[in-house]
Structure 1
Amino acid sequence: MARIVQAVRAAIAPLTRTRVFRTVGPVVLPAAERALRIATGGRTQVSGLLVPSLTLHTVGARTGGFRASELMYTPDGQGSALVAGTNFARGRHPAWTHNLLAHPEAEITVRGRRYAVIAERIDTDPEAREAAWERIQQQWPGYRGYERDSGRQVRLFRLRLVRELE
């Protein structure tokens, strides 16, 4: 089964780097993710059909309001999740990265289970940054191309698990 998933990822990954996807994806995917999150109580995500996915719950950097963002993540092999602020290769950092910089205490929902996490920015250490990108690219080939195409350094975070919430 793992080989099938890898083959499907390898086939679909190039499509996610097209202009069409980068135009349509930011509009269609978040709405589809929200609808499926509500319908399944957070147990299923559209992106979760191909890659590990989570819902990141943050406090807004400017508003102080609660925000939810569906994200692909890569397990780091030590119980934490790596997330990259690619924003569909757009020139601006996604809002959730600003929120984590302002309020690193956050929560995630993975397959319907909620956890408290602490976000650590890892892209300030070149060695850790390279290791994170290598791990992410093993999961989703070519994903780092979003960084090149965006014209900015993508913010990378490690979400360290604190505890499971009820």
Structure 2
Amino acid sequence: MTDTTAAPLGVRLVRKVSSTRLFARLAPHVIPRLDHAVHRLTHGRVLPSTRMLPGLVLTARGAKSGLPRAIPLACMAEPDGSWILIGSNFGRPDHPAWTANLLAFPDAEVSWKGEDIPVTARLLTGEERAEVWARTLRFWPPYAVYQARIPRTIRLFRLTRRS
């Protein structure tokens, strides 16, 4: 188990709140909309949710429609310049739609700190997924609570820059 007492009080409070079922019901309707609106108004410079977790805006083609879909997401920025996306869906039973979009169309774009970057997504599996999942739980322990209350395996994607 991760020692969360080292985190600042505000972070510990948000971790506790984000682990609740009420948060899982309300957050998907509030946080992405707020992030998207502020991101648009600031021309890609600000995402409110990044006060707690790093975040980006993923634009991927819809799996069914083929139309571009933009969604703000928390991410883990990797030292090699890639990003890890966690398909937790706030601990809800279904995979988030953006994961199906990346499975259907892995070429996408992210807005990261005001820069638009073309990327390719790859679903992590096996040992690589296990290693990244362990780091994910150290990064944000509530993901363990989300996984414990749902039967599906939370999808992890690595996004790498396209040249």
Q: Normalization by structure 2: what TM-score? A: 0.90
Aligned match of 1:162: 162
Report the identity percentage: 36
1:39-70 deviation line (CA, Å, top 9, x unaligned): 11121112111111000000011001110011
The Cα of 1:111 is off from its aligned counterpart by: 1.3
Identify which of 101, 104, 123 aligns with 2:103. Answer: 101
Aligned mates of 1:108, 1:70 — CA distance in 2? 9
Aligned mates of 1:102, 1:156 — CA distance in 2? 15
Aligned match of 1:45: 47
RMSD, aligned α-carbons: 1.5
Q: Which moved more, 1:137-146 or 1:64-73?
A: 137-146
1:100-137 deviation line (CA, Å, top 9, x unaligned): 00000010001110101110110x21x21121112222
Aligned match of 1:147: 147
Aligned pairs for 1:11-30 within 5 A: 11-30=13-32
Aligned mates of 2:25, 2:149 — CA distance in 1? 14
The Cα of 1:77 is off from its aligned counterpart by: 2.3
Identify which of 50, 63, 75 aligns with 1:73. Answer: 75
Question: Letter of the aligned partner of 1:161 in structure 2?
Answer: R
The Cα of 1:31 is off from its aligned counterpart by: 1.4
Q: Does 1:116 align with 2:92?
A: no
Aligned mates of 1:6, 1:133 — CA distance in 2? 20
Q: Which moved more, 1:129-138 or 1:78-87?
A: 129-138
Structure 2 stretches of 5 or more lacking a match?
Answer: 1-5
Question: Letter of the aligned partner of 2:59 in structure 1?
Answer: H
Q: Match of 1:152, SS?
A: coil
Question: Letter of the aligned partner of 2:159 in structure 1?
Answer: L
Question: Letter of the aligned partner of 2:133 in structure 1?
Answer: W
Runs of 4+ in 1 over 6 A off after TM superposition: none
1:131-154 deviation line (CA, Å, top 9, x unaligned): 111222222123232122122111
8 Å CA contact retained: 1:10, 1:141 = no
Q: Match of 2:142, SS?
A: coil
Number of residue pairs matched?
157
